[in-house]
Amino acid sequence: MISGCAIVIANPLVTLYEDTDTFGLEAGRVPPETYAVEEIRTVTFAGKPQRWFQITADGDTGWVQDSSILIESKSGDCQ
């Protein structure tokens, strides 16, 4: 777990992925809430870095992309 790192998801359509791949398998939807971040991973997609946050939502652990469309806010410890 990343100490002090939390993200707020307000959009009810955010997808939780099994891995850090937007074309990968979906683990489920992420209900609007504040989530503690368990791990942060950066991957390269189309030559550009993408950050992902690992969270647990409704008992499912998976990944959400670090995007202003998906994440309403994040704590300063997530930088």
Whether 21 is in a domain gets the answer yes
pLDDT, tens digit only, all 79 positions of the chain: 688 999 999 999 999 999 999 889 999 999 999 999 999 999 998 899 999 999 999 999 999 999 988 999 999 888 7
Whether 26 is in a domain gets the answer yes
Whether 14 is in a domain gets the answer yes
The conformation of residue 14, written as its DSSP 8-state character, comes to P
Q: What are phi and psi of 51, to 5 degrees?
A: -95, 145
Query: What residues does 64 pair with on adjacent strands?
Result: 53
CATH number at residue 16: 2.30.30.40
The alpha carbon of residue 15 and the mean position of all alpha carbons in its chain are separated, in whole angstroms, by: 9
Parent domain of 26? 6-78
The alpha carbon of residue 29 and the mean position of all alpha carbons in its chain are separated, in whole angstroms, by: 11
Whether 71 is in a domain gets the answer yes
32, two tokens: 């609007």
Whether 54 is in a domain gets the answer yes
pTM of the full structure: 0.92
Based on the structure, what is the number of domains in the chain? 1
